[in-house]
Amino acid sequence: MNYNLIKDILTLIESFEKINKNQSYQNSIDGFCQWIIDDMGPSDSSNLDWANKKNGRSVESVISTMLVHMGKYAKSYSKSAIHDSAFSTQDEFIYLITLKTFGVMTKTELIRHNKQDKPTGIQIINRLIKCGWVVQKDSNKDKRSKILEITQDGIEVLDQKMDDIRKASKIVTADLTEKEKLDLARILLKMDRFHQKVFNKNLSNEQLLHEAYEDYTIARNLN
């Protein structure tokens, strides 16, 4: 009897049980086999097709369009999650989640963390303060600076909708397997690191495209 093979199979089963805690796969031999196929199967994108590919449409165009579509889908689910709540927009609960998760920060830090322009960010913050969900106070580190902090009312109104907000987040990942989710998260985090460096330069609209494309060209040459 090949005991090494049995040990390898048991190790695979253990890995399957760990990664399948949220029941992405059936707890059966069929689910186990499907996980092995997804996890170890070859990644062949040579047959991948998309609209207008034959006419020269690039993969970059497809990715950019799909990201826009995903943003719209996510926004529609978020709007549904808060339709019967005190929230006016998804940005309001996103700002509250940011403060609850990362703690106090300045207006500028909060706005930049959520990748928004200053006028829009200030409007959101002013509403949060008006609703009593966020309070503005002096910083202990710098008395000249003001910081924002989520209030108990803000925590409570957020907690009331967190279950629906989590459902909206899960729906966005559609029917991806756990491995596909992790692969996608890894890729998106890599993309985010690139764009965050560009974002941190505070470039004008006139400069942005040119500077970002230069960074893109350099990054591509390094890969």
Band the pLDDT of 156: cuts 50, 70, 90: very high
pLDDT of residue 165: 93
CB atoms within 10 A of CB 111: 20
Residues 151 and 219 in one domain: no
Band the pLDDT of 178: cuts 50, 70, 90: confident
Cα–Cα nearest to 41, from 49, 30, 33: 33
The CATH number assigned to the domain holding 156 equals 1.10.10.10
Torsion over CA: 130, 100, 108, 135 (sign): positive
**Chain segment 78-124, per-residue pLDDT in tens:** 999 999 899 999 999 999 999 999 999 999 999 999 999 999 999 99
Say whether 148 sits in a helix, a strand or coil: strand
Cα–Cα nearest to 133, from 165, 101, 87: 87
* Domain of residue 150, residue span: 59-170
Query: What is the distance in angstroms between the CA of the first residue and the CA of the last residue of the chain?
Result: 47
In a domain, 21, yes or no: no
Whole-angstrom Cα distance, residue 12 to residue 24? 16
Whole-angstrom Cα distance, residue 110 to residue 144? 18
Residues 100 and 166 in one domain: yes
In a domain, 46, yes or no: no
Residues 64 and 144 in one domain: yes
Residues 164 and 178 in one domain: no
- What is the number of domains present in the chain? 2
Band the pLDDT of 173: cuts 50, 70, 90: very high
In a domain, 20, yes or no: no
Cα–Cα nearest to 171, from 78, 69, 84, 95: 78
Looking at the predicted structure, is the pLDDT value of residue 153 above 80? yes
CB atoms within 10 A of CB 191: 12
In a domain, 130, yes or no: yes
pLDDT of residue 188: 92
**Chain segment 40-54, per-residue pLDDT in tens:** 655 555 567 888 888
Residues 113 and 181 in one domain: no
User: Residues for the chain: how many in total?
Assistant: 223
In a domain, 22, yes or no: no
- What residue type is assigned to position 22 of the chain? N
Q: What is the pTM of this model?
A: 0.71
Backbone angles phi, psi at 84, to 5 degrees: -115, 30
